[in-house]
Structure 1
Amino acid sequence: MSSAHAPFNPVPRHPGKVLETEYLVPQNISHYDLAKQLHITETSLDHFIAGETDVDYVLAFGLAHVFRESPELWIRRQQDWDTF
């Protein structure tokens, strides 16, 4: 007996929410500490995490540097959110 499954298409989340739940909380990184590493204000980071601002290239490169990832990953997350 075979079972057909529909492809899993998760609802995209704002990149700030991804940052909070998949990076900051598991790694126990405070908003203050990350903001300091990114050379931005904690308020700016808080707005991003709250979904009030978007990833731009400067932030994408900063996040990529801190978490040793590609900046394109963060840009793609923003694009996925924007097109949802």
Structure 2
Amino acid sequence: MERHKSLNIHVGEILKYDILEPSNLTVGQASKLLNTSRLTLSKIINGKSSITPDMALRISYVFGGTPDFWLRLQRKYDLEKAQEDFDKESLKKFCLE
């Protein structure tokens, strides 16, 4: 039986579309609330950086959810991405042999 592959959504997208946009917050405004740089938050919401434990604490304090919730979302994304990369590399390896 083949495993169902769902969309792998970066936690930054969840933050952007479920928190910032409904609240009509710009990246600059949200970064001030989180006491972080605009660049740092921009990298997160654009999927270029991961949420760290420190950032999970900040997001939890400002927007809700637990730090563990935010970190589990990040971990799930990272694991799915690693699985995708592993599958691609394994396919190349076995096809070349």
Name the TM-score class by shorter chain: 0.7 to 0.9
In the other structure, the counterpart of 1:4 is none
- 2:40 equivalent among 40, 44, 51: 44
Alignment partner of 1:29: what SS? coil
Residue correspondence of structure 1 range 26-37 to structure 2 within 5 A: 26-37=22-33
Runs ≥4 residues deviating over 4 A: none
State the TM-score, normalized to the length of structure 2: 0.73
Alignment partner of 1:27: what SS? coil
- 1:69 equivalent among 58, 65, 69: 65
User: Is there any run of 5+ residues in structure 2 with no aligned partner, and where?
Assistant: 81-97
In the other structure, the counterpart of 1:23 is 19
Identity of paired residues, percent?
25
* Deviation at residue 10 of structure 1 after TM alignment: 3.9
Quote the RMSD (CA, aligned, Å). Answer: 1.4
Structure 1 residue identity aligned to 2:35 = H
State the TM-score, normalized to the length of structure 1: 0.84
What is the aligned length?
77
Greater helix proportion: 2
How many angstroms apart in 1 are the aligned matches of 2:22 and 2:57? 21
Structure scoring higher RCO (CA < 8 A, sep ≥ 6) equals: 1
Alignment partner of 2:21: what SS? helix
User: 1:20-72, CA deviations, whole angstroms, 9 ceiling, x for partnerless residues?
Assistant: 11111111111111101111110111111111100100000000001122011
